Amino acid sequence: MHVRMTTSRSGFDVTPLPADRVTALATDFSPDERQVILHQGTERTFCGLLLDNKQPGVYVCRLCGLPLFKSDAKFESGTGWPSFFQAFDPDHVAELTDMSHGMMRVEIRCKRCDAHLGHVVQRRSAAHPQALLPELGLDAVRGRRSAAGAA
Ligand SMILES: [Zn+2]
């Protein structure tokens, strides 16, 4: 396994985390959170957790704290999930083709720890033809809390 450090355009270390580190970070998660974030389940019980959050700030990966979305890229998509029209840094979000459930969708994952974030959805809106829909893999960081300080 190579350990070469990878840095994103916005200056964050996005070197993929080893599996044992991911497991250690997930120890406080509930079984439902584990199912969604580590095993690509779809959020149901936690629906709406961040949907109505209108606080300015940065949304970070629940697992490793990497900044993923800014609140000023959040918009109301009518899907029931918090939606963003762009990532904090394209280097922080990986897009993978997901063929599960008889559909071809694009899954989004944290580039650093591989946590499942949600899916990319094509919208009809001309302003935001493509939406990134994180389901549960996000923490809201408000006010002065920095991404590094989010525990
Ligand atoms: Zn992460």
SS3 67: strand
pTM of the model: 0.71
The alpha carbon of 126 and the centre of ligand 1 are apart by a number of angstroms equal to 30
User: 3-class SS at 104?
Assistant: coil
Q: How high is the pLDDT of residue 151?
A: 38
Residue type, 101: H
Position 93 scores a pLDDT of 92
How far, in Å, from the CA of 141 to the mean position of ligand 1?
Answer: 14
Taking 50 as the pLDDT cut, the residues of the chain under it are: 45-48, 142-151
pLDDT of amino acid 30: 83
pLDDT score at 89: 94
Taking the C-alpha atoms of residue 115 and residue 118, their distance in angstroms, rounded to an integer, is 9
Calculate how far, in angstroms, residue 30's C-alpha sits from the geometric centre of ligand 1.
17
62 Cα–ligand 1 center, Å: 7
Predicted confidence at residue 3, as pLDDT, reads: 57
What is residue 101's predicted lDDT score, i.e. its pLDDT?
79
Instruction: Map out the domains of the chain as residue ranges.
Output: 19-142
Q: In angstroms, what is the span from residue 58 Cα to ligand 1's centroid? A: 14
Q: Could you tell me the CATH superfamily of domain 19-142?
A: Peptide methionine sulfoxide reductase. (2.170.150.20)
